[in-house]
Chains A and B, each alone.
Chain A
Amino acid sequence: MNRKAEVKNLNFSYSHSALVLKSVSLPIFENKITALIGPSGCGKTTLLRCFNRMHDLYGNVKYDGSILLLPDQVNILSTDIDPIEVRMKIGMVFQKPNPFPKSIYENIAYGLRIRGIKKKSYIDEKVEDSLKMAGLWQEVSDRLHTGANSLSGGQQQRLCIARALATEPDILLLDEPTSALDPISTAHIEELVASLKKKVTILMVTHNLHQAARTADYTAFMYLGELIEFGESSQIFTNPKEQKTENYITGRFG
């Protein structure tokens, strides 16, 4: 199995407070879905946002350790690396759907345009491909130029996934992508995410254990900033090695 990335001894703290991530190490396998689970406040979002250097936007944070992108072994946390170039390679979908106040078409074209792509035929093609990949093409192909805010919440989230896919990221980060959606839209997104792993490596935070068990190939359980256990989802959910993991997945805390 190919590794796409490797987190090594990652420590992280906000301003001067205590460590939020404590020496986290974890492999990310290529074309697989890895789920991050754990009680709220355990550092899942913080870890996820290290992957695209989102923390750099706010200063006042401290981190050390590395996230190596394989096979090149580049440490994307290194200060020598431009965060913007990292974000060009690693896409992200947020908890709440956040389409831009532009048309459906322009939402997807945006990522291409900021990369300097101008050719209309190429953009047209990319918009169609990404929407098809996100399972949204049939629903919106006749109204590409209407505002994205006219879509339902679930459609908006799929649009955001399409927007991230259009730029062909190496890794796609998803932070509780269904927590703001109804059950039907959630099921749609889960199916979609499962189908996407052929194209892209996925790292997904979820508070929904069933979602992790259903869709993820690997699961990492975090607790109070530590990575307690990492393994294939089937093993984590049926036969956890750590007592804390077992307590969590059986609902004894969290």
Chain B
Amino acid sequence: MKTEFSTPHSTKRRFRVLKEFLIKAFLFICAASSVLVTVGVVWTLVVEALPFFDDVSLSQFLFDREWTPLFENAQYGIMTLVCGTLLTTVIALLVAIPLGTITAVFLSEYSSEKMREIFKPILELLAAIPTVVYGYFAMLFVTPLLQKIIPGISSFNALSAGLVMGVMIIPYISSLSEDAMRAVPLHLREGSLALGASKFQTSFRVILPAAFSGVASAYILGISRALGETMVVAIAAGLQPRLSFNPLESTQTITAFIVQVSLGDLPQGSIGYRSIYVSGLVLLIFTLVFNLIGQLIRSNMEKKFK
């Protein structure tokens, strides 16, 4: 029997080529839409934020010691909000990174299958609690508790908000880190144990470094979550921008400022309105910079080890 090939112009073949093209186009549009939305968001932010600097000089923006864009005699010191954001983020990470990592080590290296089956859903529940609930938990439970331990602490403070935010982020860090650690091949574990290493030494000196790439991703996600978290800080940390890193005082983060002013009525194009965009842009830049640093560290470590 003669083998038959279609000619380039046969209908069947043209139809097949067209079909493939349409499928490819469809997939491209789906993939591109999220990129487009991102570009759109950034574009809006930049366009709406830039006119802010028609009225406010860059040096005011960077060096003013207060942030009162809605008052008379307005001041525009963004660093106050940056302080609040960094302060609560650092407190949250001081809680979430150690506890999240230890939880991951426990779940991946120490716990039995049964224990894991109990632990994981509970951790996932922790991630499913609405952040407003966390906010009120911080304000109504953690803050009074702190007030008993630290007398001078104010009723809105960065410490309480940061601590609770840290707890909130634990599951993000532990879950991703655990996945990364469990993906480390068994023969690396056995190689370490066969040398006489304890489980503890194996976990922290072999498995964790071997899983570093995944663990670093988990940390980066945690940082992004902390920087962008809104409700907890808006509720529990207060609404008082401050150029200080004192965790016992009230403070305001960029996100908390944005919800605060968004709730009010602001004439479009006013300086208050622009201040929302400009602070949003600053937050975005921070998140991007942290992400970038994280990626750099990660790829550096990968090169070193692989």
Contacts and interface: CB of A to CB of B under 8 A. Distances in A.
Interface centre among B201, B209, B305 (most CB of A within 10 A): B305
B41 interface: no
A94 B192 contact: no
A54 B205 CA distance: 19
B193 A101 contact: no
Given A96-B187, A149-B305, A54 B193 contact: yes
Contacts of A91: 194-195
A209 B194 CA distance: 26
B49 interface: no
Interface in B273-306: 304-306
B191 A167 contact: no
Given A96-B187, A147-B305, A149-B306, A54 B196 contact: no
Nearest to B306: A149
B99 interface: no
A87 B196 contact: yes
A52 B205 contact: no
A57 B205 contact: no
Nearest to B199: A57
B188 interface: yes
Contact of B187 (A52, A87, A94, A147): A94
B196 A167 contact: yes
Nearest to A57: B193
Contact of A110 (B205, B304, B306): B205
A114 B191 contact: no
Contacts of B201: 114
B102 interface: no
B190 interface: yes
B194 A101 contact: no
Contacts of B194: 52, 54, 87, 91-92, 94, 164
A236 B306 CA distance: 44
Interface residues of B, number: 21
Contacts of A114: 195-198, 201, 205
A88 interface: yes
A167 B187 contact: no
Contacts of A164: 194-195
A192 to B, nearest CB: 18
Interface centre among A57, A100, A115, A150 (most CB of B within 10 A): A100
B196 A101 contact: no
A85 B194 CA distance: 10
Contacts of B190: 54, 57, 94, 98
B216 to A, nearest CB: 13
Contact of A167 (B185, B193, B195, B209): B195
Contacts of A117: none
B206 interface: yes
Nearest to A107: B191
B205 A98 contact: no
Given A100-B206, A101-B209, A84 B305 contact: no
Interface centre among B196, B197, B212 (most CB of A within 10 A): B196
Interface string A71-96: 00000000000001101100110101
11 contacts: A85-B196, A87-B196, A98-B190, A100-B192, A100-B209, A101-B209, A101-B210, A101-B305, A102-B209, A102-B305, A113-B205
Given A84-B196, A87-B196, A111-B195, 13 more contacts: A52-B194, A54-B193, A54-B194, A84-B197, A84-B198, A94-B194, A100-B210, A101-B210, A101-B212, A102-B209, A110-B197, A147-B305, A147-B306
